[in-house]
Amino acid sequence: MLPEKRRRTIVDLVNERGSCSVAELADELEYSKPTIRRDLDTLEQEGLVDRSHGGAVPVDKLGVEQSYHQKEIRHLDRKQAIGERAVEEIRHDEIVFFDGGTTTIQTAKAIPDDRGYVAVTNSPLLADELLDTAREVKLTGGTLRGKTRAMVGPTAEQFMERRNFDLVFLGTNGISVDAGLTTPNEDEAEMKHRMVEQAKRVVLVADHSKFDQRSFAQFATLGEIDTLITDESPPDDLARALDRDGVSVITVDA
Q: What is the pLDDT of residues 15-38, one digit of tens each?
A: 778 789 999 999 999 999 999 999
Same domain, 105 and 220: yes
199 within 8 A of 175, measured Cβ to Cβ: no
Same domain, 83 and 164: yes
Last residue of a domain, one of 31, 59, 87: 59
Residue 45 lies in a domain: yes
Flag whether pLDDT at 72 surpasses 80.
no
Could you tell me the pLDDT band of residue 47, with boundaries at 50, 70 and 90?
confident
The CATH code of the domain that includes 52 is: 1.10.10.10
Last residue of a domain, one of 59, 85, 103: 59
Flag whether pLDDT at 8 surpasses 90.
no
Better pLDDT: 244 or 64 = 244
Mean pLDDT of the chain: 90
pLDDT at 48: 77
Same domain, 53 and 89: no
Same domain, 167 and 135: yes
Angle between the N-to-C axes of helices 33-45 and 3-17, in degrees from 0 to 180, rounded to the nearest 10: 80
Rounded CA-CA distance 181/224 in Å is 10
Residue (of 161, 127, 124) closest to 143 by Cα position: 124
The pTM score is 0.74
Flag whether pLDDT at 116 surpasses 70.
yes
Percent of the chain whose pLDDT exceeds 90: 70
Q: What is the pLDDT of residues 226-240, one digit of tens each?
A: 999 999 999 999 999
pLDDT at 129: 95
Question: In this structure, which amino acid lies at residue 110?
Answer: A
Rounded CA-CA distance 221/82 in Å is 21
Flag whether pLDDT at 254 surpasses 80.
no
Same domain, 172 and 215: yes
Domain that residue 18 falls in: 3-59
The CATH code of the domain that includes 156 is: 3.40.50.1360
Residue 244 lies in a domain: yes
Same domain, 33 and 143: no
Could you tell me the pLDDT band of residue 75, with boundaries at 50, 70 and 90?
low
Flag whether pLDDT at 64 surpasses 80.
no
Under DSSP, the state recorded for 90 is: P
